Structure 1
């Protein structure tokens, strides 16, 4: 019995020693490999929840493009779950982000707020506890982040940023600049449509003119019209798109002339098939004789080819070829040195009905039920046009092509035809800075990804400037109808052109 007891005691001691040795070995391995770094985010990590598209509304017919203020179709909800996955979007089972929208960024983390609710704060949105949970941000008193050594992660992030030589012009902040605006809102009558010249309206506050955009980590050279024309000597700059594209075109004309009358500038619209006698011209083109620089705009609100179904019938419908670029682009691409495309706000059922557009794919009426959804139809056209343009660029090595991201709308408390308004006149009331790297227009960003077409990213920076819209001061405004889609000029589109000049 004594021998048996002694043997059992020795066995227990040996087992205990083995447990201690294994424990020490595991602790040593854990300290050698800092696994928590792989799971706890670095303070520099940026999170991007899925953007939420505008609501779908129907527009009434209008005789001119500028008289109504259509809303972009709900292209986000039109996308299937599979189509959303490349954007890093959670599946339907992920309920936490479905009621949130991207509004602003703070401390290198995108800030979100409940849809339809503003978050208090004089210059930025503040992050709610719910938002922090959605983004998996550790609480302030969490010991997890303080106990993790993120030095290596930070080094890798900094190394990556140093390797990225191309400036992200969509990331930065708005700052005061008393040298603005770049031209007079009273004087640029030769190029600027009266309906967009807010200085000629009853508006009395023009503080929105006194700001300029400062990208993070890079400079935008001060725009000087004469110098720009010299840079663009013997070149043609073409804007093709909707009325927001026309605003950018008129803005550039005012910028290069300083808003002054210039009788020497030649109207060369006839060279591009533009007729002066049309009630609604399809475009405008002007040439500066000293530098032979041509700046033009062509109206193509959807960028796809529109073909009359019956030439002999004035009230004919139009085949809207979703898989064909606008004929104007095909016919004149070889003449352009800079091309800026834009589309977005005309993709809604109201426009489809008012303009008698009918979806065509492969040269025949569309029979694909999925493509009857406006969002998918728009995405097909954007991707088709960009893919075609990218295929043409090797034949035109001097051509610099851009897709401008969508210009944001700022209707509050309703839509343009249901009492929606944008009465704010205080600049940057909802924020002044954009910190996220990713574009707020994920559709445009995805379309140009992997192509030679560049993104002119203006969505997030323009979103902060709701005070810059025409609002209720438009000449054509009806009682209770606000224009919270188009911008006052001088104004935000001038910044788009400053960024364009820098990217050129």
Structure 2
């Protein structure tokens, strides 16, 4: 026979027997040796993924993680029942040269003929399971990894207002220690208070009911800081009334001095307030920063000096005390008009110099630039402050009709929900911060659209200090709409 050595006729049977025995031993060794067994599986892979392939063995229960500090890695493997180990194939993928790309869900297809499953998720831990000898983990494990904990994030901004006799959380004629008289509509000539009897119900989830005890448990030895304009101050006062039930609490400590929040000589009020509840060591504070940017006098010796309005620099107060905060709620909006800037003698600065960019010089452009800057800066600080939860509250809507605040604008409606009760849109009604928080760890406290439906909740003509003929269609009666903002905030803590 061609290609075969000649064997004498009398010795062929022993030779065949020896050949069979050797073949059996070779097959047994092949099956028992992890490296050879793995090498056999590697040979089944398509040639275009063999480059950069490493073979490693790990304990059967070890959690596999993708190395995000180098090039992207994908791993696959099988469980070897003889050794009690899982043989894992690790492939380094050069994103510039990879023959296939991950799809929109992060799935990277691998043409691995050794398994019916050919998808490996990038960037998610892959548990090694001994229950399946041919794949790395079961189908159920893979689905759990893809879906996380199967918890969908609630869209608190979409939902409806519903009547609730359990509202309000506090008396509108009480809470005198925390609530400014100008916002306490029960102390005015107003007689209709139906606006107090509504709560916000998100469409996609049951929002957790606000409870004072839960709030203090959640905020044990923590500090919540509101930084923004007068609407931020309303939210601060609303929360103070909610967590006290509007009742006098003599043991609550005024700790404004710890933050420099003391009334300066000749000032109408301090730059903010800070209170601490001894029972839980919880601190709640508000700092007034209408533009959410740093203000610096150009000539400290001149009482009429102009102020550098550093659009790309966070307020000095925030930079100084950020280490003390556990929850941060920012807002700005209604001071961004030419009249306010001129009256306050604010001059726009960028990178430490007077602004020369015409796009930023426009009020709308300056506001957008500042919001993006403050959100970007806060996000950059979160890695150094892992306990900090940061929120940007979207703008509170105005409801002036037939004019503005100084041109006869009114908001006389007292009929709740006359403009509808439901928000069905997915996107935010305040698109600038909504886009700015994308890709960051700063959360949007989106209250714009839900507040837009509540024009009857403004102070209107009933304000104690309102000038004759002028109406306040910007600020809200308390108790009122800002209570719902704090309920949403509480649900996200």
Scaled by the length of structure 1, the TM-score of the pair is 0.67
Query: 1:188 — aligned with what?
Result: 175
1:94-129 deviation per Cα after TM superposition (whole angstroms, max 9, x unaligned): xxxxxxxxxxxxxxxxxxxxxxxxxxxxxxxxxxxx
Alignment counterpart, residue 457 of structure 1, candidates 433, 446, 449: 446
Distance 1:316 1:301 in 2: 19
| SS, match of residue 239 in structure 1 | strand
Deviations 1:63-86 (A, max 9, x none): xxxxxxxxxxxxxxxxxxxxxxxx
- Flag the structure with higher helix content: 1
CA distance in 2, matches of 1:398, 1:477: 42
CA distance in 2, matches of 1:318, 1:233: 39
Are 1:405 and 2:394 an aligned pair?
yes
The more displaced of 275-284 and 235-244 is 275-284
Count residues in correspondence.
345
> Could you say which residue in structure 1 is the equivalent of 2:161?
174
Give the distance between the partners of 1:396 and 1:185, measured in 2 at CA. 38
Q: How does 1:275-294 map to 2 (within 5 A)?
A: 275-277=262-264, 278-294=267-283
1:280 and 1:364 mapped to 2: Cα distance?
A: 31
Q: Supply the distance in 2 between the matched residues of 1:163 and 1:463 (Cα, whole angstroms).
A: 32
Instruction: Say whether the 8 Å CA contact 2:348–2:355 is kept in structure 1.
Output: yes
CA-to-aligned-CA distance 1:388-431 (integer Å, 9 cap, x gap): 11010011111000000000000011111111000000000000
SS in 1 for 2:224: strand
* Aligned partner (choices 313, 324, 330) of residue 313 of structure 2: 324
Q: Distance in 1 between matches of 2:211 and 2:343?
A: 42
CA positional deviation for 1:187: 1.0
SS in 2 for 1:497: helix
What are the within-5 Å matches in structure 2 for residues 55-454 of structure 1?
165-277=152-264, 278-454=267-443
Structure 1 unaligned regions, length at least 5: 1-158
Shift of 1:226: 2.7
Partner of 1:477: 466
Q: Which has the higher contact order (CA 8 A, sep 6+)?
A: 1
Highest Rg: 1 or 2? 2
Match of 1:40 in 2: none
Are the equivalent residues in 1 in contact too, given 2:183–2:478 (CA < 8 A)? yes
Cα deviations by residue, 1:287-330 (Å, 9 ceiling, x for unpaired): 00010000000000010000001111111110000111111111
Which stretches in structure 2 are left out of the alignment for 5+ residues? 1-145
- Per-residue Cα deviation, 1:180-224 (whole angstroms, up to 9, x for no partner): 101001110000000000000000000000000000121122212
Pairwise CA RMSD of aligned residues? 1.4
Name the CA distance, whole Å, in 1 between partners of 2:357 and 2:432. 21
* C-alpha distance in 1 between matches for 2:206 and 2:251: 33
Q: Is the 8 A contact 2:263 2:271 kept in 1?
A: no
Aligned match of 1:87: none
1:328 is paired with a residue whose SS is helix
Q: TM-score, normalised by structure 2?
A: 0.69
1:144 aligns to what? none
CA distance in 2, matches of 1:475, 1:337: 36
| Residues 1:406 and 1:164: Cα distance change in structure 2 (over 3 Å) | farther
Secondary structure in 1 matching 2:382 = helix
C-alpha distance in structure 1 between counterparts of 2:376 and 2:150, whole Å: 27
User: Partner of 1:96 in structure 2?
Assistant: none
CA, structure 1 residues 380+249, in 2 after alignment: closer, same or farther (shift >3 Å)? same
Does the residue aligned with 2:383 lie in a helix, a strand or coil? helix
4+ aligned runs moved over 6 Å, structure 1: none
Question: How far 1:163 sits from its partner (Å)?
Answer: 6.4
Hey, what's the Cα distance between the residues in 1 that align with 2:229 and 2:291?
A: 7
Q: Secondary structure of 1:455's match?
A: strand
Query: 1:502 corresponds to which residue?
Result: 491
Note if contact 2:178-2:237 (Cα within 8 Å) is conserved in structure 1: yes
SS at match of 2:172: coil
